[in-house]
Amino acid sequence: MNPSVSAAERLARIRLNAFLFFRADWLERLIEIFGSAEEILRQDAQTLSQEANLNLSTANHLLQAAFALDPQEEWDKTAALGGHIFVPEDEEYPQSLKNIKEAPLVIYVLGKLPPPEQACVGMVGTRKITPYGRRVAAKLAGDLTACGVTVISGLARGVDSECHAAAVRLKKPTVAVIGTGVGRCYPPENRALEKAILEHGGAVISELPFNRPPNAFHFPRRNRIIAALSQPVVVVEGEIKSGALITAKLALEMGKDVLAVPGPIDSPQSGGPNNLIKDGAGVVTSVVDILDYIPQQLRFGLDSRFFEKKDDSPQKPEEDLTPRQRAVMTAVSGGQACLDQIAEAINADVPEAASLLFELEVKGFLACENGLYSKSKF
C-alpha cells in the first residue's frame, strides 16, 4: 500500500464510498475541490452545497451515509476474511481500473488480483442460460484457462457461474467482480463456488461496502469494472436488452474489443450476441478467435500452441502425436469420456489433461460435446 495516503485519508474515503448513489467520478471531483476526503467530511452540508454546486438535500444525504458507516469496522471485517481495501494510489490497485473515467474510490479485494502482465478475458452473459450457452461458456472458459488466461466474470447465475466453474475445475485462478459487498455472496447458492475461487488463487472484487446486500442498480455499475479489467470482452448469451450488453457498451467506450458467440436465430438469449455481430463485434466459434484479440504484450507466459489456427488440411496420422497425446487418444478409444475420467486413465492431473485435450481438439483429433470427449469424425 502507498504510504503517501494516510490511514485517516483511507478511512475517510471508505466513508465517502458509502453514498452509493453518487458516482465515483463525482466523489473524485469533490476531493479535487476540497483537497482530500478528510477535508470533505469536515464540512457541513451547506458548505458542501455551495462550494461543490450540490443540491443541499444531496449534500445532507452524502454526509449522513458517510457518518453512518464505521470505516475501521469495514477495514477490520475485510481483513478478517484475508482481504484488503485499496485506493487508486496503491500499487495493488489495477492500472487498467485507474485508467477509466469512473474509477472506484476504493475497492475491496479478497484473494489475489492478477498481476499487470496477466492476460485477462471478460466473459459475460445472461442469467437465463440455455443448454447451448452452458456448453459454450464452460468450453470457452475452460480452454482459455487451460492456456493460461484469467477469466473475469460477475459470479451471477448462468453464464458467469459456468465460466468461473470451468476455471475452478482446472484448479486455476478466476476473478469475480460482484454486485454485493464482500462478505455477502449472491446468489447464495454460489458460496461454494466463491470459496473455490479463493482457494485456487483467484479473487473476489467489490466497490461496495462490506456485506452490502444486492440491489438492482449495483450490477450494471459493477460491469464497468469487469470491462476495465478485461481485453477482450466476450458476450456468450443474452437478450437484446441484457445486462451483458451494458458490459459490451462500456468496454467499447473504453476502447476494448468486444466479441460475441453466435447463436440460434430463434433463441431470445442469442439476440444480444447476434446483434453485436451485425454491428461489427468479432465472431467467436472457438477459443482461438478470442486469443487473437489478446494484446501481444500480455501473451508472454501463455501456451503458444493455443495460438495456432486449427488446420483444415487432412488429419495427420496418430503416429505423429506425442506419447502423452496418444495416451489420451487411447483413453477415448472406447467412446465418450469426461475430463476427470481421461485424467485418471492417463495418470495426469486435471490441468495437464485439459491441456492435452485442447491440443488434440486444435489438431482435429478430438471433438467435445456436453463436456464429453470422443474421437473426431472428420
Structural domain contains residue 251: yes
Structural domain contains residue 268: yes
Say yes or no: 30 and 95 in one domain. Answer: yes
Residue 369: pLDDT band by 50, 70, 90 thresholds?
confident
Say yes or no: 139 and 275 in one domain. Answer: yes
Say yes or no: 34 and 152 in one domain. Answer: no
Which pLDDT value is given to residue 377?
62
pLDDT above 90 coverage of the chain, percent = 74
Q: Choose the weakest-confidence range: 4-8, 249-253, 307-311.
A: 307-311
Q: Which tens digit of pLDDT belongs to each residue from 52-91? A: 999 999 999 999 999 999 999 999 999 999 999 999 999 9
Q: What is the mean pLDDT of residues 218-232?
A: 94
Show which of 275, 298, 321 is a domain's final residue: 298
Structural domain contains residue 333: yes
Taking the CB of residue 221, how many other CB atoms lie within 10 A of it?
19
Helices (H), 131-212: 131-146, 159-169, 191-199
Take residue 187 and report the three cell numbers written for it.
446468489
Show which of 253, 270, 298 is a domain's final residue: 298
Say yes or no: 120 and 258 in one domain. Answer: yes
Query: Which residue range(s) make up the domain with 316?
Result: 310-375
* Distance set, CA 155 to CA 108, 121, 149, 225 (Å): 16, 15, 18, 13
Question: Whole-number mean pLDDT of the chain?
Answer: 91
Which pLDDT value is given to residue 2?
81
Which pLDDT value is given to residue 309?
53
Structural domain contains residue 37: yes
Residue 179: pLDDT band by 50, 70, 90 thresholds?
very high
Find out whether 237 and 274 touch, Cβ atoms under 8 Å.
Answer: no
Structural domain contains residue 66: yes
Which pLDDT value is given to residue 262?
95
Structural domain contains residue 68: yes
Whether the per-residue pLDDT at 172 is higher than 80: the answer is yes
Structural domain contains residue 44: yes
Which pLDDT value is given to residue 312?
47
Say yes or no: 216 and 352 in one domain. Answer: no
Say yes or no: 117 and 250 in one domain. Answer: yes
Q: What is the mean pLDDT of residues 110-136?
A: 96
Say yes or no: 116 and 257 in one domain. Answer: yes
From the DSSP assignment, how many helices (H) and strands (E) are in the chain? 17, 12
Is the model more confident about 4 or about 136?
A: 136
Cell 492431473 sits at which residue? 349
Whether the per-residue pLDDT at 378 is higher than 60: the answer is no
Residue 89 region by backbone torsions, left for phi larger than 0, else alpha for psi between -120 and 50, else beta: alpha
Find out whether 342 and 373 touch, Cβ atoms under 8 Å.
Answer: yes
Q: What is the mean pLDDT of residues 144-159?
A: 96
Say yes or no: 25 and 42 in one domain. Answer: yes
Structural domain contains residue 2: no
pTM over 0.85: no
Say yes or no: 21 and 137 in one domain. Answer: no
Give me the number of domains the chain comprises.
3
Which pLDDT value is given to residue 1?
81
Say yes or no: 281 and 265 in one domain. Answer: yes
Residue 241: pLDDT band by 50, 70, 90 thresholds?
confident
Say yes or no: 168 and 201 in one domain. Answer: yes
Q: Please tell me what DSSP assigns to residue 126.
A: -
Distance CA(33)–CA(28), nearest Å, equals 9
**CA 194 to chain CA mean position, Å:** 13
- What DSSP element (H or E) covers 133? helix 131-146
Say yes or no: 285 and 263 in one domain. Answer: yes
Beta bridge partners of 123: 234
Q: Which tens digit of pLDDT belongs to each residue from 267-321? A: 999 999 999 999 999 999 999 999 999 998 998 888 766 665 544 444 456 667 8
Which pLDDT value is given to residue 166?
96
Whether the per-residue pLDDT at 8 is higher than 60: the answer is yes
Show which of 246, 266, 298 is a domain's final residue: 298
CATH number for position 144: 3.40.50.450
CATH number for position 320: 1.10.10.10
Take residue 237 and report the three cell numbers written for it.
448469451
Find out whether 148 and 302 touch, Cβ atoms under 8 Å.
Answer: yes
